[in-house]
A = this chain, B = another copy of it.
Amino acid sequence: MSYRKILLNESEKPSHWYNIVADMPNKPQPPLNPKTMQPAGPDDLSPIFPMGLIQQEVSAEKYIEIPDEVQDIYNIWRPSPLYRARGLEKLLDAPVKIYYKYEGVSPSGSHKPNTAVPQAYYNKQEGVKKIVTETGAGQWGTALAFACGQLGLECEVYMVRISYDQKPYRKIMMNTFGANVHPSPSNRTQAGRNILAEDPDSPGSLGIAISEAIEMAVADETHKYALGSVLNHVLLHQTVIGQEAEKQLEMAGDYPDVIIAPLGGGSNFAGIAFPFIGKNITEGRKTRCIAVEPASCPKLTQGEFMYDYGDNAGYTPLLPMYTLGHNFRPAAIHAGGLRYHGASVLCSQLLKDNLIEAVALQQLECFEAGIKFARSEGIIAAPEATHAVAQVIREAEQAKKEGREKTILFNMCGHGFVDMKAYEDYFAGALSDHTFTGTQLKDSLEEVRALQP
């Protein structure tokens, strides 16, 4: 009987995170302090992040050791299984071998705890008592709530009001893990009160929630802030995914020709692809690494590489990245984790240097792929994750057309048990594909061009 999955024991987990900066032929340009337009240093970040994470943010060391206490908590769900997609392969009937890492086995159901746990750990190391963050649909907030609970830290989450009201399940998951969740805008911060004074019924936005979280974090020196994607240290922590996959593929006697992952901010993609991109650079391997973005938020394929704020509110340093403009407002697709205006600095530099590829897909094709995946593999994927499946199907069909064999690896970054509303809308025919109005991208990009040094 053919195996379906390859497991590793806890003792076979990677001992270090892999830092791709060490291997990049062109190092990323520095972030800039928007007031001085000078490179932002550790001091710019220390009010909101602990020094342990800031050191990782600016590190050029190739490997950074994973602390024992983090490994112990990783053991709750790591190493994650590597699946051989026998069911999907049979369905597609193409000359491809398809493997996927399944990150839905984590406590919050996605890859996010891979970074939430070390972030909570380094905060705790420096005496932080409470971590404050924002969350949109709730994946990141759930992961941080879990991590803080494990390490005995308080966790306070500002959740965009409209999600708080419309998607209560994620909020209750955060409560269950022990976090306090507030709808944003709230009366707890000046930023929130200002918004509510103008519009008591404000539905909120990620930008407002970030403002509230940062305001609360800087107000007390035992409080810090945390971010679930985009930053270098976040991408670093996710590299356990790709390192495990490499070991598991070796056990299967395989190596990937193509790696596929969705890209929102970039941590999901980085997690599975960076260790293999490193091998491309240092060992001359030729694995194609494809980032999949939604057609409604296509920063990699239609954005511009320039300095922009990492957040909608303009709180962060200016980051060199592919962006649609920090004021770009993507359509309200169900793949909430992919609705981010820019790509992380590291992913952006790699794309600029042609070390990765990018493709933008429409949501109907992605949901169709998700249904095929559920029926053939037994896993109901998060809407974000269906983007990877859709591209896998494209690659398989291409291979069939060309009669060329291919080994594909992708990141099944989360399950969709809390996202069934998305599938409901799909079955009801309530979803459509996306085309931009003529000026939508142009205007938001124009604004950012004016910020360049």
Contact = CB atoms under 8 A, between A and B. Distances in A.
A374 B150 CA distance: 10
A211 B304 CA distance: 62
Interface stretch (A55-63, A215-223, A376-384): A376-384
| Category for how many chain A residues contact B | 35 or more
Nearest to A380: B176
B146 A5 contact: no
B178 A375 contact: yes
Given A4-B75, A7-B9, A168-B424, A378 B175 contact: no
Contacts of A2: 72
Nearest to A415: B417
Interface string A70-89: 01100111000000000100
Contacts of A436: none
Nearest to A72: B1
A107 interface: yes
Contacts of A5: 10, 75-76
A379 to B, nearest CB: 7
Given A1-B71, A423-B172, A177 B374 contact: yes
A72 B10 CA distance: 25
Contacts of A370: 176
Interface of A: 1-5, 7, 9-11, 68, 71-72, 75-77, 87, 105, 107, 109, 146, 149-150, 168-169, 172-173, 175-178, 370-371, 374-375, 377-380, 415, 417-418, 420-421, 423-424, 427
30 contacts: A1-B10, A1-B68, A1-B71, A1-B72, A3-B9, A3-B10, A3-B75, A4-B10, A4-B72, A4-B75, A5-B10, A5-B75, A5-B76, A7-B7, A7-B9, A107-B378, A146-B378, A149-B375, A168-B420, A169-B417, A169-B421, A172-B423, A172-B424, A173-B420, A173-B423, A176-B371, A176-B375, A177-B374, A415-B417, A417-B418
